């Protein structure tokens, strides 16, 4: 877990249902979670268990039926530019260069400051020299770096990541996980990261919040007390992996 003891994001008895063809579909039930400032949290669980809905509520795009989400003690009722999303589907604009995509959230910043922040962020994500390139000229991993850069450029308090590496090939995913940890350790934003990949959650998170099948409830919260970069062959890694698969109801995973 993060060394910080300041609570950043608090889910307090959050429940959420949706109307599905005239029937009420309960997606989340009684979610209680406290995230510390600068902490990297992975939300792990099967499809449809409410992981993305948790992000949408915390981001202000959905309202809970009961309970609340607060960030820095303030209840979330609408989106804010201090909280940004990174999705699996590339949210970058195909008609804009890397530079212009990264500058998107900096339009109100004075020109000199905007240029400095944009270049620093592009350098941080490893895209130096590609400032004038367009998305069609970039690989999948590079496009995802652009989206991460755009998120970081606005200096957000919280970054919500919804399976951001799901569309990448396995080798590129491994690279992007390492890059994300490097960036997170340098910048220390609070990150809530949705995944259904057990290995991804162990490789990234300070803590893993395991959700049950719908309606999503917190089945367990697992501390990952392993130094980065994490040794995938270590006994502790295997122990955590086995515990997570057991919680997810998978018996023959080895």
What is the reported pTM? 0.90
**Among candidate residues 140, 155, 170, the one where a domain is terminated:** 155
Residue 149 parent element (H or E): helix 140-153
* Residue 215 · residue 50 · CB < 8 Å: yes
Helix (H, G, I), strand (E, B) or coil at 7: strand
As to burial, measured by CB atoms within 10 angstroms (0-12 exposed, 13-18 middle, 19+ buried), residue 144 is buried
Question: pLDDT band for position 2 (50/70/90)?
Answer: very low
DSSP-derived letter for residue 253 is: -
d(CA 254, CA 241): 10
Q: What is the pLDDT of residues 32-90, one digit of tens each?
A: 999 999 999 999 998 888 999 999 999 999 999 999 999 999 999 998 888 889 876 66
Residue 117 domain boundaries: 90-155
Verify that 99 and 225 share a domain, yes or no: no
d(CA 31, CA 13): 5
Q: What is the pLDDT of residues 97-125, one digit of tens each?
A: 999 999 988 888 899 999 999 999 999 88
**Among candidate residues 101, 131, 155, the one where a domain is terminated:** 155
CATH code: domain of residue 189: 3.40.50.300
d(CA 128, CA 86): 21
Residue 13 parent element (H or E): strand 7-20
**Among candidate residues 102, 126, 155, the one where a domain is terminated:** 155
Partners of 190 in the beta sheet?
158
Verify that 191 and 173 share a domain, yes or no: yes
Omega before 40 cis (within 30°)?
Answer: no
How does strand 7-20 pair with strand 83-87? unpaired
């Amino acid at each position: 877990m993060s060394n910080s003891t300041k609570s950043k994001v608090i889910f307090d008895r959050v429940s959420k249902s949706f109307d599905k063809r005239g029937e009420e579909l309960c997606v989340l039930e009684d979610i209680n979670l406290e995230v510390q400032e600068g902490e990297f949290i992975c939300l792990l669980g099967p499809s449809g268990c409410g992981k993305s809905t948790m992000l949408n509520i915390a981001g202000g795009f959905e309202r809970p039926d009961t309970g609340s989400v607060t960030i820095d003690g303030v209840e979330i009722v609408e989106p804010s530019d201090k909280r940004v999303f990174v999705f699996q589907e590339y949210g970058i604009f195909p008609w804009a260069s890397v530079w212009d995509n990264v500058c998107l959230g900096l339009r109100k910043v004075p020109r000199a400051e905007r240029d400095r922040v944009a270049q620093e962020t592009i350098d941080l994500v490893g895209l130096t020299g590609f400032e004038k390139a367009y998305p069609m000229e970039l690989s999948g991993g590079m496009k995802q770096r652009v989206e991460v850069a755009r998120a970081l450029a606005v200096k957000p308090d919280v970054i919500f990541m919804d399976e951001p590496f799901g569309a990448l090939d396995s080798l590129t995913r491994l690279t992007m996980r390492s890059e994300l940890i490097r960036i997170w350790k340098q910048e220390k934003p609070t990150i809530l990261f949705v995944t259904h990949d057990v290995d991804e959650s162990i490789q990234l998170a300070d803590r893993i919040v395991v959700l049950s099948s719908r309606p999503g409830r917190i089945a367990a919260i697992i501390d990952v007390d392993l130094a980065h970069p994490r040794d995938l062959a270590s006994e502790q890694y295997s122990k955590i992996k086995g515990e997570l698969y057991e919680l997810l109801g998978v018996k023959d995973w080895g």
